[in-house]
């Protein structure tokens, strides 16, 4: 994954102690590393592990629960009431295990998660051997997880202190959205972000309603309000960012912000079409997110890559907008950059951690293959992922998850389905 878009044919990756030791021609690797165990994958592309820059993992348990509704009705009439009745540490653990299994099977090795009870999400992520970034969530109303904004922050900071040195974990400050967080809370978050130097993970300009509400209550659009409160800067991961003026795009670029683009969720909730080509042209760092399974139904980075490339062309009316390599970069190195992890993951480079995915590019629907990168974005799907490694450890082999502790995941999911359908309070 480099700026030139190069593809290395008949090459090998040597891995030692979880790190990429060398990238070299296969014949040379056989001579230099004769004693290393070998995994031969002819007809495959080896890519950096995919990075899901925005998700709510535990919401897999709400997959398909309230489809075909606009965002605010979906939230206010279905999702928030269900969460108030059911969300608990066990709910988050089971939902996150299910999400990690789905993501790993589809080549996603790192996910940036925003949800309640993040300690349970961390437990699930580590149990599955996945890499994760976790939001120290802030919201201005009480939930089963925390009583008020100060309580949310205190719990998030305590979790960060506990796990801050874990090699597979990192943290973000995650105020939910401008319409759920007060000025006072944003100011506190801005101070903490400067002190801790962590990303700021926020839903921004997802809908026109959000912008109209901000103009009515604050006299400015949400992004300008965030700028005045000290939130807009190099650490900002602006999620969705569908409704942006040219001036706002320049603001994001000038401040070195990142955008987490979630095309399938934007389409399903009829939020609109993000100006991805314009953001890329301005130099804004872009990553891809699936959002939660409740608003997308799939945690599928291959689907997001394809949607991104196709929609960008249609919106810009330019067939050259967001070519395949750019979409693949968003799904790998772009997400790593946004999380401050690009020195460790996001490309297959000596010294980085061995987060890798092998994708089969042979068979009906994938033959012939003139350009592997084009195939990865426009033809291949998560079902074509054969092997996945995280930190050098194999997590998927021949399409099969290697974790044997998840055999009852389907049963757990069905139990939660019955609970949610009954409306019982947990």
Is 122 inside a domain boundary?
Answer: yes
- For every residue of 228-297, which 3-state class applies, written as one string? HCCCCCCCEEEEECCCCCHHHHHHHHHCCCEEEECHHHHHHCCCCCCCHHHHHHHCCEEEECCCCCCCCC
DSSP bridge pairs for 202: 238
> Angle at which helices 118-128 and 149-163 pack, to 10 degrees?
30
Instruction: Output phi, psi for 94, to 5 deg.
Output: -65, -45
Is 418 inside a domain boundary?
Answer: no
Distance separating alpha carbons of residues 72 and 180, to the nearest angstrom: 12
292 and 377 co-located in one domain:
no
Distance separating alpha carbons of residues 113 and 266, to the nearest angstrom: 18
At 357, the pLDDT band (50, 70, 90 cuts) reads very high
229 and 364 co-located in one domain:
no
Q: Provide the 3-class DSSP secondary structure of residue 70.
A: coil
Please give the tally of structural domains in the chain: 2
For residue 383, give both structure tokens: 């079902």
Share of the chain above pLDDT 90, in %: 91
Contact (Cβ atoms closer than 8 angstroms) between residue 10 and residue 383: no
For residue 120, give both structure tokens: 């349970």
Least confidently predicted of 43-47, 137-141, 253-257, 404-408: 404-408
At 424, the pLDDT band (50, 70, 90 cuts) reads low
Opening angle at CA 151, ends 150 and 156, nearest 5: 100
322 and 227 co-located in one domain:
yes
What does the pLDDT look like over 176-198, one tens digit per residue? 999 999 999 999 999 999 999 99
CA 325 to chain centre: 18
Average pLDDT estimate for 199-209: 97
At 21, the pLDDT band (50, 70, 90 cuts) reads very high
106 and 214 co-located in one domain:
yes
Radius of gyration in angstroms for the set of CA atoms belonging to the chain, rounded to a whole number: 21
Average pLDDT estimate for 210-219: 97
Total residue count of the chain as it appears in this document: 426
What does the pLDDT look like over 281-319, one tens digit per residue? 999 999 999 999 999 999 999 999 999 999 999 999 999
CATH number for position 233: 3.20.20.140
CA 80 to chain centre: 22
pTM of this prediction exceeds 0.95: yes
> Angle at which helices 89-105 and 118-128 pack, to 10 degrees?
40
Structural domain of 378: 11-46+353-405
CATH number for position 39: 2.30.40.10
pLDDT surpassing 60 at residue 425: no
């Amino acid at each position: 994954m480099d700026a030139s878009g190069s593809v290395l044919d008949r090459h090998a990756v040597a891995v030692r102690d979880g790190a990429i030791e060398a990238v070299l021609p296969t014949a040379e690797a056989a001579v230099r590393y004769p004693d290393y165990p070998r995994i031969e994958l002819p007809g495959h592309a080896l890519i950096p592990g995919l990075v899901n820059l925005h998700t709510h993992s535990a919401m897999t348990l709400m997959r398909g629960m309230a489809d075909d509704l606009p965002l605010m009705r979906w939230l206010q009439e279905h999702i928030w009431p269900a969460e108030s009745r059911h969300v608990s540490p066990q709910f988050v653990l089971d939902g996150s295990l299910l999400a990690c299994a789905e993501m790993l099977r589809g080549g996603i090795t790192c996910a940036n998660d925003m949800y309640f009870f993040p300690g349970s999400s961390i437990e699930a992520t580590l149990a599955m051997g996945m890499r994760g970034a976790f939001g120290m969530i802030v919201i201005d109303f009480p939930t089963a997880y925390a009583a008020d904004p100060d309580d949310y922050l205190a719990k998030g900071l305590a979790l960060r202190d506990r796990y801050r040195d874990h090699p597979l974990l990192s943290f973000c400050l995650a105020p939910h959205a401008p319409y759920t967080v007060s000025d006072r809370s944003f100011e506190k978050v801005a101070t903490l972000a400067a002190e801790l130097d962590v990303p700021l993970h926020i839903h921004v300009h997802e809908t026109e309603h959000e912008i109209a509400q901000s103009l009515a209550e604050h006299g400015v659009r949400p992004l300008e309000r965030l700028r005045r409160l000290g939130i807009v800067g190099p650490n900002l991961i602006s999620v969705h960012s569908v409704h942006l003026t040219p001036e706002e795009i320049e603001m994001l670029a000038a401040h070195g912000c990142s955008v987490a683009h979630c095309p399938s969720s934007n389409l399903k909730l009829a939020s609109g079409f993000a100006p991805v080509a314009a953001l890329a042209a301005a130099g804004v760092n872009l990553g891809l997110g699936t959002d939660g399974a409740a608003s997308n139904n799939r945690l599928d980075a291959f689907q997001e890559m394809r949607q991104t490339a196709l929609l960008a062309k249609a919106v810009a009316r330019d067939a050259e907008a967001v070519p395949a390599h750019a979409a693949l970069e968003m799904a790998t190195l772009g997400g790593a950059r946004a999380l401050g992890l690009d020195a460790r993951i996001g490309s297959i480079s000596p010294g980085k951690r061995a987060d890798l995915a092998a994708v089969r590019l042979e068979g009906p629907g994938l033959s012939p293959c003139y350009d592997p990168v084009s195939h990865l974005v426009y033809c291949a799907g998560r079902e074509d992922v054969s092997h996945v490694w995280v930190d050098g450890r194999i997590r998927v082999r021949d399409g099969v998850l290697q974790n044997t502790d998840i055999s009852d995941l389907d049963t757990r999911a069905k139990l939660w389905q019955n609970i949610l359908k009954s409306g019982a309070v947990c």
